[in-house]
């Protein structure tokens, strides 16, 4: 079950984003459940239409560190009633992440990063300005 309050979800997600931005591997692992699952609809080297699923705190933390090199602006978002993140590059959506937080740790990260899928979404980014 996800943590009940959006404030608690947001705290955990903010800690994850700060650790990724700072390149702090140990802090990333600390906010991830040992059996965390990351899913994304696109990744370098994947064929069109394929998706990627990664499991485990260390594997997901390593992946998060690779994205810390991108120049992304991240904004809090409400996705399907839970806390999430919209990442922007050059003012345009780069990805959205639905995040499931349970027991004070991230248990699932679901990303949409395919440009065609993002273009079809009705996104309003709040506080971006």
Question: Which range, 11-15, 66-70, 122-126, is most confident?
Answer: 11-15
3-state class (DSSP) for residue 85 = strand
pLDDT of residue 44: 57
Cβ 47 vs Cβ 58: under 8 Å = no
Closest CA to 65 of 18, 1, 107: 18
Confidence at 49, pLDDT banded by 50, 70, 90: low
| Fold type of domain 6-120 | Nuclear Transport Factor 2; Chain: A, (3.10.450)
Q: What is the pLDDT of residue 93?
A: 87
For the chain, the structural domain boundaries read: 6-120
Share of the chain above pLDDT 70, in %: 86
Contacts with 119 (C-beta within 8 Å, 6 or more apart), sequence order = none
């Amino acid at each position: 079950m996800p943590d009940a309050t959006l404030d608690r979800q947001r705290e955990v997600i903010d800690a994850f984003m700060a650790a990724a931005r700072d390149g702090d591997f140990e802090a990333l692992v600390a906010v991830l459940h040992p059996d965390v699952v990351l899913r994304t609809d696109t990744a370098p080297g994947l064929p069109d239409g394929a998706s990627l699923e990664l499991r485990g705190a260390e594997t997901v933390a390593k992946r998060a560190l690779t994205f810390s090199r991108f120049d992304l602006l991240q904004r809090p978002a409400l996705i399907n009633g839970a806390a999430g993140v919209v990442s922007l590059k050059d003012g345009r959506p780069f990805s959205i992440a639905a995040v499931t937080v349970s027991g004070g740790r991230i248990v699932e990260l679901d990303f949409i990063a395919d440009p065609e899928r993002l273009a079809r979404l009705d996104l309003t980014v709040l506080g971006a300005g």
